[in-house]
């Protein structure tokens, strides 16, 4: 039985508590929360979970095997660092840290101490994303030409991070995972701070890979909740709409080019190309869903038991934070 303490219980914290209490082979030993109101919430919503322990007390407790960190992003590095130095396995919400050097330091400590370090990039455990990854790897979409992601909503306004660092870790993580963890050859972003000075409410992030483009649009000033990813390949295209009932739609659409041959060929000039607009079947695959957060927690426990590298471990987190830092250093 792996004994876990959770640090923080804000917006996302209750979901983690619920899953930590439900998965096999795990015991939630404590929740550490600075806010008295949130401690009261934990006591009433999750009876029996201790909330009277301090962060320092958890670090010194040899019976605690692992720490789950669900605090604001600016606290992730120091809390994860202390937990690793105390000999605890760590699952920290995204982003793992807000600087590349900090992620590298955490990675080095975890490797030296033989501990599991993992970031909560939940979409890597989402059945829809895993379906897309399988299709790309099988070559069903052909060469991936571009991806366009939208993560929009009216709120929730944050003061500790801007829209880029709040929303875009999800999209960067998904795109990196789908493309096989390449390094972009160019990164740029444009954002504006309309509500709070110095904190961008809307950001457009552009990534250029060797033969692929990616655009990410994030905003907490949009009238509609949108969670959509478009993947355009040379053979097929996919739209992933996370708020729709049918989350995945596959389009057998595209533009094929070919040279004019035979009687139509002009030997005295450069080869002429013709184009064919292809519009084939539209397919909505049946996908059986498991809650991604449950799968993420189970994967964390498996990595602790087996000593294996997490799917969203340091290698993946380094790439994500490197891209975000190039787009807008914190």
pLDDT at 277: 86
Which of 265, 283, 301 marks a domain boundary? 283
Dihedrals phi, psi of 50, to nearest 5 degrees: -65, 140
Round to the nearest angstrom and report the end-to-end CA distance of the chain. Answer: 39
CATH number at residue 206: 3.30.360.10
Residues 142, 243, single domain; the answer is yes
Residues 115, 128, single domain; the answer is no
Give the H/E segment covering residue 189: strand 186-192
Residues 129, 189, single domain; the answer is yes
Residues 35, 163, single domain; the answer is no
* pLDDT band (50, 70, 90) for residue 275: confident
pLDDT at 279: 87
**Residue 258 predicted with pLDDT over 80:** no
Residues 36, 155, single domain; the answer is no
Residues 145, 238, single domain; the answer is yes
Model pLDDT for residues 50-63, shown as the tens digit of each residue: 998 899 999 999 99
Residue pair 308/282 in contact (Cβ under 8 Å)? The answer is no
Model pLDDT for residues 88-113, shown as the tens digit of each residue: 999 999 999 999 999 999 999 999 99
Residue pair 86/110 in contact (Cβ under 8 Å)? The answer is no
Residues 128, 245, single domain; the answer is yes
**Residue 7 predicted with pLDDT over 60:** yes
Length of the chain: 330
Residue pair 131/248 in contact (Cβ under 8 Å)? The answer is yes
pLDDT at 268: 55
Domain that holds residue 193: 124-283
Average of per-residue pLDDT across 219-243: 97
Say how many domains are in the chain: 2
CATH number at residue 299: 3.40.50.720
Distance CA 70, CA 49 (A): 16
- Rounded to two decimals, what is the model's pTM? 0.93
Residues 51, 94, single domain; the answer is yes
Residues 271, 252, single domain; the answer is yes
SS3 assignment, position 19: helix
**Residue 13 predicted with pLDDT over 70:** yes
Closest CA relative to residue 233, chosen from 216, 248, 211: 211
Average pLDDT, the chain: 94
Residues 228, 275, single domain; the answer is yes
In 70-141, beta strands by DSSP E = 89-93, 117-120
**Residue 265 predicted with pLDDT over 70:** no
Average of per-residue pLDDT across 34-41: 95
Residues 8, 77, single domain; the answer is yes
* pLDDT band (50, 70, 90) for residue 330: low
* pLDDT band (50, 70, 90) for residue 276: confident
pLDDT at 8: 97
Residues 251, 196, single domain; the answer is yes
Above pLDDT 90, what percent of the chain? 88
Average of per-residue pLDDT across 289-306: 97
């Amino acid at each position: 039985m792996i004994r876990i303490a959770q640090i923080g219980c804000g917006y996302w914290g209750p979901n983690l508590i619920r899953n930590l209490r439900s998965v096999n082979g795990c015991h939630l030993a404590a929740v550490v929360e600075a806010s008295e109101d949130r401690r009261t919430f934990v006591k009433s919503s999750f009876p029996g979970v201790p909330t009277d322990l301090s962060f320092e007390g958890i670090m010194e407790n040899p019976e605690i095997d692992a720490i789950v960190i669900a605090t604001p992003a600016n606290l992730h590095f120091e809390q994860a660092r202390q937990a690793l130095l105390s000999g605890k396995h760590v699952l920290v919400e995204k982003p793992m840290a807000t600087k590349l050097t900090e992620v590298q330091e955490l990675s080095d400590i975890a490797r030296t101490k033989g501990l599991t370090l993992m970031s909560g990039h939940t979409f890597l455990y989402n059945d829809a994303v895993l379906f897309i990854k399988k299709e790309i790897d099988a070559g069903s979409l052909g060469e991936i030409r571009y991806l366009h992601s939208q993560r929009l909503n009216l709120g929730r306004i944050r003061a500790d991070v801007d829209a880029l660092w709040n929303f875009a870790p999800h999209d960067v993580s998904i795109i990196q995972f789908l493309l096989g963890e390449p390094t972009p050859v160019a990164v740029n972003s444009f954002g504006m701070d309309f509500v709070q000075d110095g904190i961008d409410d809307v950001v457009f992030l552009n990534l250029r890979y060797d033969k692929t483009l990616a655009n990410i649009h994030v905003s907490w000033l949009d009238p509609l909740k949108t969670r959509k990813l478009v993947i355009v390949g040379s053979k097929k295209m996919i739209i992933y709409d996370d708020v729709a009932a049918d989350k995945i739609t596959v389009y057998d659409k595209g533009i094929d080019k070919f040279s004019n041959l035979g009687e139509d060929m002009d030997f005295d000039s450069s080869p002429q190309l013709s184009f064919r607009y292809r519009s084939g079947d539209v397919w909505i695959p049946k996908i059986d869903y498991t809650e991604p957060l449950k799968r993420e927690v189970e994967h964390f426990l498996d990595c602790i038991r087996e000593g294996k590298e997490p799917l969203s471990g340091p290698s993946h987190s380094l790439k994500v934070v490197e891209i975000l830092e190039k787009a807008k250093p914190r």
